[in-house]
Structure 1
Amino acid sequence: MTFYKGPITDHFDGERFFDRDGMPPKSWADLLRWRFGHKPAPWPDWAPSPYADTPPPRVTGDKARLSYVGHASWLIQTGGLNILIDPVWSQRVSPVSFAGPKRHNDPGIAFDALPQIDVVLVSHGHYDHLDLATLSRLAAKHAPRVITPLGNDLTMTAHDGAIRAEAYDWRDRVELGSGVAVTLTPTRHWTGRGAFDRNRALWASFVLETPAGKIYVVCDSGYGDGKHFRDVRHTHAPLRLAILPIGAYEPRWFMKDQHMNPAEAVQALADCGAAQALANHHGTFQLTDEAIDAPETDLYAALDAAGVPRERFAVLKPGQVFEV
C-alpha cells in the first residue's frame, strides 16, 4: 500500500496525520476490552424505512434538495449539481463481504434511480464512509469527481484507477462549478482501514457553499470541547444547515473521543450556529452498543432539555427529503 507523502504541517508529522485539538484513537487493547466485554443492545434483523426517493434530474435556482440515503450517505442537489456524500450502497461496511456490520434497511435511493452524479465527497477512510465497491460503481456509470482529504485518494485509485479522486488538505477550498464550492474543515476523528495504517490519511468535514446558503456536513466526529464547531462558525457563518452525527456513541469510555452522543450534537448545533440541523450516522449499521432507536430518542430528550424546538434538528428516515 502506498501512503501519502508531503511536507510536515501543524497536523502531519511526515508519516501520520493528527489533530492538535483532538485525541489519538484508542489502543488495540482498549478495542479488545470493548469487543469482548460489551453487551450490545439487540437490533431487529431488518428495519425498513417506509420511504424511497426518486430524485429529479437537477435542482436549480436558489434551492437545495437533500435526500437521506442512510447512515452518513446523502444526495445533495443544488446549483444544477448532484453531489453524493460518503456514498455506501454495499450490504456490509467491512474489509470482507461475508462478515462485519450489515445493513438493516435499504438505501433511501435505489442505485439505478440516482440522477447523473457530478461530485462525490468522501470524508475519511473508515469502511462505513469510504466504500470502494460503491465508488467503482459510480465511476463506471457516472465518472464523478471525488473530493477527499489527503491520502484517501491513494486508497481509491489503488483499488480502481477509474475513480477520479482529488485529494485536499484541511481549509482547502475547491470550486465545484455553478457557483458551488466546498471547503474541507478540521474535525475530531481519525481514520484507518487495517492494522497498520492508522492516520496515514486525513479526515475532514465539509462546508458547501450553495445558492441556498452554506451547508456544514459532518459525517463523523467527536465533540471534545467544541472548538472545531465554533471555528466553523467563526470562519463560515452564516450556516443555513448543518448535518450532524447522532449515533454510534456507546460505550462512552470508548466512543466519546470519536463519536458525539445526541446531547453533544445539540451542543454542536449551538456552537456552529446553523439555522437548521439534520441528523445522520444512525439507524442503518450497528457499529456500537446502543439500540437502533436510542439516538433519536436521546436527541429529542437533549433538545427538550436545552429548550431547542425539535423541528430545528430533524431526524429523517432513509428515502426522506429535506428542501431548503
Structure 2
Amino acid sequence: MTSTIGRAAGPWARAATSLTAAGLSTVDTVTAGLARGGLPSARALGARKDEIARRTSGSPHLRDGVFHNHQPIEPAVDADLGVLTDMIRHPGRPHHAIPVLTPQLDDERADLSATWLGHASVLVDLDGVRILTDPVFSRRCSPSQRVGPARMHRPPLAVGALPSIDVVLISHDHYDHLDMATVVELARRQPAARFITSLGVSAHLVAWGIDPNRIQEADWWGTCAVTVGSTDLTFTCCPARHFSGRALVRNTTQWASWSVHGPEHRLFFSGDTGFCEQFDEVGARLGPFDLTLIAVGAYDPVWPDVHVNPEEAVRVHRMLTRDRGRDAVMIPIHWGTFNLARHPWAEPITRLLPSAAAESATVVVPPPGGTIDLRTRTGTGTHNPAWWEASA
C-alpha cells in the first residue's frame, strides 16, 4: 500500500498539511506544493492528471474520472494516528539480519523459474522469456529517499547487475510497486525491454522519459501480446481489489493483477489486492496456473479489503489453480522487505504455511535472492526452507 501522509515527518508532513487545507485536486498543484514544502523529488509523483486522462478516458471501469472496485472497499483505507503510532512503537521488523543471496543469473532462460528480489519484485523465466514484476530497488518506497518506508534488507542485485530482461510488468502506481529511479535506470540499461502496465500507468513512464513505443497497457480483461524470438506470450490485465495514486489524487490509474500465458506455462501475478470473488472468474477463464505470485503481507484490520491476509492468499491460489492441486506452486510476495503494516515481520509466513497445508497447496518461500526452478523444485535457497525463522 502507498505511504499515507501521516507516516513521514518533516517536509513531507508540512507540505501535505498545507495541501490538504487548500483542497487541491491536481497533480500539478500537489507537485508544486511538495517542492515548496522542501520535498526534492516532486518529479517522482509522475504524470499530470490530464496526461493520465488522455489514456484512460475510454475505460468502461472509469466513473466520474476515477476507477472503482467491483466490490466496494470498507472501511476507508486511510490509517489514522493510532495505527501510525502503533507502527512506530511496534515496527514489523525482524530481530536478526535477513539473509540475502546474490542470484547467479545469466542470459540463458529457464522453462519456468522465479527469483524473489524482495517485496513484489520477482524475476520470472516463463517458456524462455524473462519477466520482471514491479521492480523497486531503491532504499525507500517514497517520492523522496529522505523519508518514507525503508528497506529492511538490501536488494539482491543492483539494476546494473540484472541479466537481459524482455518484459517489465507493472501492476499499479503505488511507490512500493512503481519506483521512478528503478524503472528509469532499467529503461536505460535494458534497451530491448518492453514495459507492460495497467491502464494509465504508462503516463508516468512517458513523463519520466521512457519511449512510448516501448510501452503497452491494458484495462481489466484487456490483453497485451509480446513476441520474444519465436515465443508468443499473452499478458491479460485481470481485476484486483485495491486503489491507486501517487499523491493526494487517487484512482486516476487502474490497478490490476496479471495473467501471463506462454506456449507451455501460465503465470499469475497478484500485484496488490484484497480478497474478491473475481479471482474465481480469473481461474475459470485463464487458468489453471502453474505458478502464482501472491501478496501475503501488509494486511491490517484497518484496511481489510485492499490487502489479502495469508489465509485469503491461499484461497486465491486455490481459485486460480483449481484441480492442479500440489502440481501448482505459490510463491509469497509483498512481505519481509518494507514495514507497511502492524503485523510482526514473519507472521505472513507463520500463518501462510499451515493454511496452505490444510488446503493441500504447495508454497515455496525463497529468501531474498533465492531462485526456484519450478520444473525440478530445486534452486538456491531451497536447502533451508525455514530460513526466515532465524531472522524472526
Separation (CA, whole Å) in 1 of partners of 2:181 and 2:135: 10
Residue type at the aligned position of 1:295: P
Corresponding residue to 1:159 among 199, 208, 211? 208
Within 5 A, what are the aligned runs for 1:1-324? 1=48, 2-5=51-54, 6-7=56-57, 9-23=59-73, 26=76, 28=78, 30-36=79-85, 39-44=89-94, 47-59=97-109, 63-143=111-191, 144-162=193-211, 164-177=214-227, 178-195=231-248, 197-223=249-275, 226-250=276-300, 252=301, 254-273=302-321, 275-304=328-357, 306-308=358-360, 312-324=362-374
Given the two structures, how large is their TM-score scaled by the length of structure 1?
A: 0.89
Residues in 2 aligned to 1:22 and 1:120: alpha-carbon distance in whole angstroms: 30
The residue matched to 1:319 in structure 2 has which SS?
coil
Asked if the contact 1:24/1:190 (under 8 Å) is kept, the reply is no
Q: Displacement, 1:31?
A: 3.9
The amino acid of 1:105's aligned partner reads H
Cα distance in structure 2, aligned partners of 1:302 and 1:286: 23
| Structure 1 position 303, deviation (Å) | 2.6
Secondary structure of the 2:116 match is strand
Structure 2 Cα separation of the partners of residues 165 and 24 of structure 1: 34
SS of the residue corresponding to residue 3 of structure 1 reads: helix
Task: Quote how far apart the aligned CAs of 1:57 are.
Answer: 0.4
Name the amino acid aligned to 1:40: H
Alpha-carbon offset, residue 56 of structure 1 = 2.3
Shift in Å at residue 32 of structure 1? 4.1
Structure 1 position 22, deviation (Å): 3.8
Q: Counting helix residues as a fraction of each chain, which structure ranks higher? A: 2
Tell me the secondary structure at the aligned position of residue 318 of structure 2.
Answer: helix
Residues in 2 aligned to 1:321 and 1:7: alpha-carbon distance in whole angstroms: 41
Number of equivalences? 313
Q: Secondary structure at the match of 1:179?
A: strand
Residue 212 and residue 25 in structure 1: after superposition, are their counterparts in 2 closer, same or farther (change >3 A)?
A: farther
Post-superposition offset of 1:214: 0.7
Query: Secondary structure of the residue that 2:315 maps to in structure 1?
Result: helix
The one-letter code matched in structure 1 to 2:266 is K
Maintained 8 Å contact 1:222/1:259:
yes
Unaligned runs of 5+ in 2: 1-47, 323-327, 375-392
Residue 53 of structure 2: SS of its match in structure 1? coil
CA distance in 1 between counterparts of 2:287 and 2:264 reads 14
Instruction: Using the TM superposition, give the Cα deviation of residue 115 of structure 1 relative to its aligned residue in structure 2, in angstroms.
Output: 1.1
Q: Contact conserved, 1:4 with 1:150, CA < 8 A, in 2?
A: no
Aligned-partner SS, 1:290: coil
Q: TM-score w.r.t. structure 2 length?
A: 0.74
**2:168/2:196 contact within 8 Å kept:** yes
Q: Which runs of 5+ in 1 are unaligned?
A: none
Q: Aligned partners of 1:24 and 1:201: how far apart in 2?
A: 20
The amino acid of 2:360's aligned partner reads V
Deviations 1:159-202 (A, max 9, x none): 2244733222111121111122211101111111111x200000
| SS of match in other structure, 2:317 | helix
Cα 1:185–1:12 change in 2 (3 A) is same
Amino acid at match of 1:156: L
Matched-pair contact (CA < 8 Å) for 1:149–1:202: yes
State the SS of the aligned residue for 2:52: coil
User: Structure 1: how far apart are the matches of 2:84 and 2:330?
Assistant: 32
